[in-house]
Structure 1
Amino acid sequence: MKTTGVTGWETAVLDGGPADGLRMKVSDRPRVIQVTCPCRVEGAPQGLRAEGVYVYRRDYGVDSEPLRYGFDIASP
């Protein structure tokens, strides 16, 4: 298998979910983008934190910028 490294940076936009409309630069057109969002924790020990994890999957029907990633509602 031949690896070619980074092919360049492209603009991507997230569609739906908590990061709807967020634009970013991605390299090598990743299949999945993971977004985390801090959660409030009450009465937690010092240093403990919690984050919500959201998954966005690439829309393969879009071949030009901006690439589109749709919110995966079934993701953990």
Structure 2
Amino acid sequence: MDENGAAEWETAVLDGGPANGLRLRLIDRPNVLQVSCPCETENPAGEMGVAAVHIYRRDLRVKSELRYGFDGASP
């Protein structure tokens, strides 16, 4: 928190998986991030959407930066 009591933003990097190298700004260092990617469907009406969900977990071993590693075992 800063001197005014507001939460501070931090830059994190995603390591591995479909979002490898992506940098994002976070507050409060969550333990898990969920990244979704829209998938094409063959629904002619376009009324339903489908997304692939990928899980990234905070890597506590890395001390030099805030890093999240791809968890390929998570659904």
The offset of 1:6, in angstroms, is: 5.9
1:74 and 2:73 correspond: yes
CA deviation vs aligned residue, 1:17-72 (integer Å, no higher than 9, x gap): 0000000001100000100000010135432010000000001123443x100000
Cα RMSD (Å) of the superposition? 1.8
Q: 5+ residue gaps in structure 2?
A: none
Provide the aligned length of Structure 1 versus Structure 2: 71
TM-score w.r.t. length of structure 1: 0.82
Q: 5+ residue gaps in structure 1?
A: none
TM-score w.r.t. length of structure 2: 0.83
Kindly, what percent of the aligned residue pairs are identical?
Answer: 59
